[in-house]
Amino acid sequence: MTETPADIVIRRAIGGDADAIAWIVDSADTTDTAVVIAMAALLEPDPTRLERAWAVASTPRDRQVVAIARARLAGDHDLVDALARDHLVDHPDSYVVSWIAFNAAGPERSKDPN
């Protein structure tokens, strides 16, 4: 799979790069890349952005990412977990879905019990 410039910026944003996060949020209203729009919706958080992300999602993979983001913003941790696991079986390279699933655990669910 060839990496696009958007993929590189998304990876940087996942790592916490402030410039990459700003680019994603700023680009969300003009891009036709569903994953960028979905990420912006999660970063702001703004569930209304997911309507546009769904409208531009042209592949099953993109639609799955949008559905997972929607479940994350709705706070449905169990659905995020189930959808993410299913998605990652077919797309183990989906770092965006891994990021969404990890963040869906929330601080109270991801704390080390020790």
Per-residue pLDDT tens digits for 2-20: 678 888 999 999 999 999 9
For residue 91, with 0-12 CB atoms within 10 Å meaning exposed, 13-18 middle and 19 or more buried, which class applies? middle
Q: Is the pLDDT of residue 113 over 80?
A: no
67 located within any domain: yes
> Under a CB-based contact definition with an 8 Å cutoff, are residues 68 and 83 in contact?
yes
111 located within any domain: no
Q: Is the pLDDT of residue 25 over 90?
A: yes
113 located within any domain: no
Q: Is the pLDDT of residue 107 over 50?
A: no
23 located within any domain: yes
Residue 47 is classified by DSSP as: T
Q: Which domain holds residue 38?
A: 5-105
pLDDT band at 1 (very low <50, low <70, confident <90, very high): low
Q: pLDDT at position 110, please?
A: 40
Q: How far apart are CA 85 and CA 53, in angstroms?
A: 21
Per the structure, the count of domains in the chain is 1
110 located within any domain: no
Tell me the whole-structure pTM to 2 decimals.
0.86
112 located within any domain: no
Q: How far apart are CA 43 and CA 45, in angstroms?
A: 5
pLDDT tens-digit profile of 61-96?
Answer: 999 999 999 999 999 999 999 999 999 999 999 999
